[in-house]
Structure 1
Amino acid sequence: MRRLVVRLLAAAIVGALVGLATFQLTKVEGRWLFVVTGMVAGVAAVIAIQLYNKAARLTEVKVKVPQVSELTFVVNNESRHVAWKLFVETITRVSTQPLDEDEGLVREAMTSLYGLFSTTRDTLKASRPSSPVPGSQSVEHLAITMLNRELRPFLSKWHPRLREFEQGAPESPESAWEGNMECRTDLRQVQARIREYALGYAKLAGVREPEEMIKAPSEG
């Protein structure tokens, strides 16, 4: 309540000063009218430029992309926010946590990967596209690379096979599936690479010590 009163009082004072300045400006004639107008326009332009630079400040970041190479990315405040959202979505799923041979279910991990695919795509669709400088990449490039190089191939290969087993032997445990071990091997490799993408999002978002946030419980 006290803060609200202070803000209202400050707004009233500023409004009174602006009103007084406007009144005085209407009384100025001749060359001084142009001088004062120019000063006001100059100050307004400087303020506008400062606000724009703060919102659109570009930062160049080097990120190593799995199966590709190290690429240069250029981010601003908005793309940092997108990278942070993708980082959170990625590290809070089974998609980045190791699944041992005798632990968990492939179906759970696969559902998690599907969720990550959908959320990443929806996040990109809801965001405005970046305009990186020539020779650089954007956060969208990193996210789409993850979808097309990691998630889509794995899901396209293993989801139909697992579904066929589940439909053909609904009472059988997943361990009876003949593709279980091979799928888990592929899954561990995909998870390791997705962790690298998560670190890439963290770097673009400016997250400090992201490894500690991604670390699995068994690594603690």
Structure 2
Amino acid sequence: MGAMNRRHPVSRLVRTPTARICISVLIGAMAGLVVFGVTQLSGRNLFVVTGAFAGAVSVLAFQVYGRAARLTEVRVAVPQLSELTFVVNNEAKQVAWRLFVETVTRVSTQPLATDQGLLREALTSLYGLFATAREALKSARPSVQVTDEQTVEYLAITMLNRELRPFLSTWHPRLTAFEQDHPDRPESEWPEDAECRAELRTVQANLREYALGFARLAGVRNAAVLVDGATPGE
């Protein structure tokens, strides 16, 4: 095993700073000779070299674009819906990663014990998630849907309209009314405190599934470790 990991003397020599400088100088000199040779061309030869260079650049551009536009098919189980097939490219994966981070770092997926935490803070956090998710979708280019599969936008908008919007539109006005009518009373004395917390737990469980869905779209492995703090394989 030790002999297999031993590097060849030439390999070690190439890694030295002096060798790197010499190699850089040699590459620069060769590039200078190539540029000089091209500038001396004229007529048909100049057009041939220019055309070849343009062709090489276009091939490289197509390769870069192809890697960015390459679609990946992912199956995700959506709460209240059946398992769906999604297609994502690199840009959509970045949007999914941002949504995943925003979802798992808020109260939206973190348990709020019956006698701990404040519902007002939880509602504020959910409002923040709603605004951030909407902004992430607005700032990104829409996915090009070439087949019947769904996109990351569909998962995000479904989360907003099926989970966050109904919960917030129901409980935010009720809690606000209690706070305004009883500014000196603690939140725990709100008659609807227990009911609101029960629905919050349901929403949190569903948002956890959305977070895992975003993780799958983003290509995150062992996402449950980040969401629940569990050990991989548990």
Which residue is equivalent to 1:19? 35
Distance in structure 2 (CA, Å) of the matches to 1:170 and 1:10 = 77
The Cα shift of 1:161 comes to 0.3
CA RMSD of aligned residues (A): 2.6
Find the counterpart in structure 2 of residue 132 from structure 1.
Answer: 145
Which residue in the other structure is 2:160 paired with?
Answer: 147
Q: CA deviation at 1:22?
A: 2.3
Using the alignment, how far apart are the partners of 1:55 and 1:209 within structure 2? Answer: 24
Residue segments in structure 2 that go unaligned for 5+ positions in a row? 1-16
Q: Which aligned segments of 4 or more residues in structure 1 are displaced greater than 2 angstroms?
A: 5-15, 20-24, 26-29, 32-46
TM-score, length basis structure 1:
0.85
Greater mean deviation of Cα atoms: 146-155 or 8-17:
8-17
Deviations 1:18-63 (A, max 9, x none): 5135235x3463xx77765664454333222211112222111111
Specify the structure having the higher radius of gyration (Cα): 2
2:73 alignment partner, SS class: strand
Partner of 1:162: 175
SS at structure 1 position matched to 2:108: helix
Q: 2:4 aligns to what? A: none
Structure 1: which 5+ residue stretches go unaligned?
A: none
Structure 1 pair 201/37, CA: closer, same or farther in 2 (3 Å)? Answer: same
| Offset, 1:80 | 0.8
Q: 1:122 aligns with which of 114, 126, 135?
A: 135
* Distance (whole Å) between structure 1 residues aligned to residue 90 and residue 63 of structure 2: 14
1:206 and 2:219 correspond: yes
- Offset of 1:17 from its aligned partner? 4.8
1:65 aligned partner:
78
For the pair 1:82 / 2:98, whether they are aligned, the reply is no
Q: How far is 1:192 from its partner?
A: 0.5
Residues 116-138 of structure 1 show CA distances to partners (whole Å, capped at 9, x for unaligned) of 00111111111111112220111
